[in-house]
Every structure is written in C-alpha cells, then in structure tokens.
C-alpha cells in the first residue's frame, strides 16, 4: 500500500484557522473599509469639526516676546475650553485680543503671554525682579531679568496681569 500525500489539499491547521469565527475576518480580506462613508460618517466629521473650532484654534508665534518658551515661527494649538470652567492660574500661558484695540479694527491680532498676577494682587518690578504682593517671584522661564522699573500696580477684579517671558522685548501689561 502506497500512501500519497497531497500538497494541494489544505492542512488541518489551515482549516481550523479559516473555520474559527474570530479569526475568519481580516481587514485585507474585505474591501468594505474603502467604500463611501455615507451620511453617518459625514455627520461624525461635522461634529468633530464643530467641536474642534469651538474649543481649540491653531496659532502661529509672530514675535519673540515669549522666547525662550515659544520661538518665532512655532505653531501651537490653543485649548479654549478650560477657561469656561476655571479662571487662569499663575504661570498659565494665555491668548487674548488687544484690549486697547477698537472693535472695528483688525481683530485678528492675538497676544500670547504668561499670567503673573490675578485680581486683587499687587505687582512691582525693580532691580531686575518681579514682586507680586511684595514677594519676589522665582521665574526659571524668563530670558533675562527686566531692565525697566514698574511702580506698584494693583490688578483690578476680573483682570489678570500678563508679561512675556522675554521681559525686555514684550508688549504686555507693563506697557499698557
């Protein structure tokens, strides 16, 4: 008796893998993922775009006022949702429109600065140091100590005091 093996017949292991339900479907065996997304896919995309535009925005760094933290030409994603829930904290980097600008002027100008004091605080700058409520602040992120002097300034309710990390080259609260 001669036993002949057929190499054309699938093996038992192959039969098991093909017949086992969880291993049967593989992405490369189905081209369904290439079909048109349909209405539900477009509605999901629309919801994602609306949420993205409401709670975040892309920004470009045009100046060196926040150097060395942010460099000229850097691109950042600004998350806007958290300040609906909480107030800015000390050392937060915030974006805002120029408060001295008239409403009809170019509203596309946005400043990016660091919060150094909150409402009710007093701010003073002298001898190259920042003093908030009379206490010298340790700031590792500042490029150089300020070369200017700022008399004691009170931060009113509903406001924050902001400065750029490049203190000597920044249009911020000490100028206004």
The closest of 167, 163, 156 to 128, measured between CA atoms, is 167
Pairing of strands 161-163, 75-79: unpaired
Size of the chain, expressed as the number of residues it contains: 176
Residues 161 and 174 sit within 8 Å (Cβ to Cβ): no
C-alpha count within 13 angstroms, C-beta hemisphere, residue 80? 11
* d(C-alpha 27, C-alpha 78), whole Å: 37
Check 6, 53, 65, 87 and give the catalytic one: 65
C-alpha count within 13 angstroms, C-beta hemisphere, residue 142? 20
- Which DSSP string corresponds to 106-163? -TT-EEEEEEEE-TT-EEEEETTEEEETTEEPP-TT-SS---S-EEEEE--TT--EEE
Q: 65 catalytic, yes or no?
A: yes
Catalytic center residues: 65
């Amino acid at each position: 008796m001669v036993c002949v093996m057929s190499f054309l017949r699938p093996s038992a292991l192959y039969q098991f893998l093909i017949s086992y339900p969880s291993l049967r479907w593989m992405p490369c065996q189905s081209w369904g993922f290439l079909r048109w997304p349909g209405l539900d896919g477009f509605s999901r995309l629309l919801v994602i775009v609306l949420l993205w535009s409401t709670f975040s925005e892309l920004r470009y760094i045009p100046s060196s006022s926040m150097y060395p933290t942010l460099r000229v030409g850097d691109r950042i994603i600004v998350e806007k949702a958290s300040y609906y829930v909480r107030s800015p904290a000390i050392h937060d980097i915030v974006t805002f429109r120029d408060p001295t600008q008239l409403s009809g002027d170019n509203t596309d100008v946005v400043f990016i600065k660091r919060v150094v004091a909150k409402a009710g605080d007093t701010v003073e700058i002298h001898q190259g140091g920042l003093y908030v409520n009379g206490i010298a602040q340790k700031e590792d992120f500042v490029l150089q100590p300020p070369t200017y002097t700022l008399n004691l300034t009170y931060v009113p309710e509903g406001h924050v005091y902001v400065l750029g990390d490049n203190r000597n080259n920044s249009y911020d609260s000490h100028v206004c």
